Amino acid sequence: MKRMKSFLFPAIILAGAAAIALSGRTAATDAEYLYPGEPEVVAATFASAWCSSCKILIPRLSKVIPDFADQPVKFVELDFTFGKRGAIEEEAEAEGLGGLYPRFKGATGFTLLVDRDTGEIIDTLTINHSAAAMRAAIDQAIAVAARADDGPGVAE
């Protein structure tokens, strides 16, 4: 019995520590991308488990994401929690964010709304945005990216 307690106690402590480390981390950007075409906007959240701003931003953003399931916007999260910078850089590159990654790597607590075709930042979401303001900013980013796709001569 004593041997079992000496094994069980550390196991419980480790499980508890893992749960605490991951608690409050909702995968806001794990929403399935349902739009049939290529996204016009990538909403890239730079996050980590230790980021206090992320604990506000991510749950707020997760309430907004379902509203865009059929829109040309893809939500991705670049999670710096475990320091896998090489893997994060590859993910950023795959999402068309390779040019922005070096500028923002390691910084957390914000979401960049990026025109997928040009790589330009259209807007940045932070904890200062309400859910309604996030929706409006994402709608605006989609409209800006769509106008850019229409080519030159289109009034902005």
Give the pLDDT of residue 101. Answer: 87
What superfamily in CATH does domain 24-149 come from?
Answer: Glutaredoxin (3.40.30.10)
Q: What is the mean pLDDT of the chain?
A: 80
For the chain, what percent of residues have pLDDT higher than 70?
70
User: pLDDT category, 142, cuts 50, 70, 90?
Assistant: very high
Contact 98, 42 (CB under 8 A): no
Give the pLDDT of residue 38. Answer: 81
| Domain extent listing, the chain | 24-149
Contact 122, 148 (CB under 8 A): no
The predicted-structure confidence for 80-132, as pLDDT tens digits, reads as follows 988 676 788 888 998 889 888 889 988 999 999 999 999 999 999 999 999 99
pTM of the model: 0.74
Contact 76, 90 (CB under 8 A): no
Angle, in degrees to the nearest 10, between helices 54-64 and 131-149: 70
The predicted-structure confidence for 7-63, as pLDDT tens digits, reads as follows 544 444 444 334 334 444 444 544 555 566 788 999 999 999 999 999 999 999 999
Rounded CA gap, 25 and 135, in Å? 21
